[in-house]
Structures are given as C-alpha cells and as structure tokens.
Amino acid sequence: MRRVLAVIALIAVVFAAVTPALAVDPGEMLANPRLEERARAISAQLRCLVCQNESIDESNADLAHDLRLLVRRRLKEGETNRQVIDYIVSRYGEFVLLKPRFEAKTVFLWATPMVVFLCGAGAMVLFARRRHDDPGAQRLNAEERVALENLLERREGDVSG
C-alpha cells in the first residue's frame, strides 16, 4: 500500500512540475470571456518585477496580482492590448516586457546573439584553416617514410603473430 501511495505522490509531483502554475485567482477573472482571453494574453507578455523569471500570469507575488488587476481594469475601460502594454511599460520600463520590442534602443540587445555566433563561427574557420595549413608541420622525406613503413610492418607482424 505504501508503494502505491508513493507512486501516486511521485506522479502528482511530476505532473505539478510539468504543468504551468497560473496564479490567476477566480475572483480576478473577467465575466466577458473575450476580455479575459485578452487579459491572459497580455499577462503572459509581462514580467513579474518581483520574480523576474515569470510572467505576471504565473506569479503569486502581490505586485503581479496588482498588475493583473490593472490590466483587466484598463481592458474593461475599452483600451486596446497595445495601449494597456504601453501604459505598463511607461510606468515600469521596458524591463517589464518578457520579449523586448525591436526598436533603435534595443538593436544591440537583438543583434548581440547573431554577432557572437558569427564571431564564433569565424574563429572556428580561422582555427581550422591554421590547423590544416600549419607551416610548422614537417613532411616526411623519403628515408623517414621508408622507416615508418618498416615500423608499421613490424608492428603488424607482432600483432598478428
């Protein structure tokens, strides 16, 4: 019986770890399903400023709760998704966005991964060329080649005999 309970507990823990935990309370939800869907879509794009690695939709922090209520209130007032997001960004800065906007001030942020990738690829190509065309590597002359072949033949004879 203990094993069965242990297995059930393990399955529950794994299931809880795999499924996203949404912190939206039923009391927060809007009666209009379309507005609620929009609120959830906006909440999924906004970073919890307390947790910093979760959206406000997933966070249980008080600030995330307040931001979810703010989003819903502004949607009920008739604002568009963009207006709601712009309002929150104006109050909390670009950091509140989980996916930063592509603007002049964020070009460096967006371009950095590509620049690092290209530099790494270029370094690998240069390293491969230098290694392949190493001028320090010496070619075997005829005597050395014959001596090497003799050594290899002796070794093959020792292994097979």
pLDDT at 15 over 80: no
Of 2 and 84, which is predicted with more confidence? Answer: 84
* Domains of the chain from N-terminus onward: 2-101 (1.10.8.640), 105-160 (no CATH)
- Using alpha carbons, select from 80, 43, 79 the residue that is nearest to residue 59: 43
Residues 6+ apart with CB under 8 A from 50: 59, 61, 62, 63, 64
**Mean pLDDT computed over 60-80:** 93
Q: What confidence score (pLDDT) does residue 18 get? A: 45
Q: CA 39 → CA 4, 47, 70, 85, 118, distances in Å?
A: 41, 14, 10, 11, 39
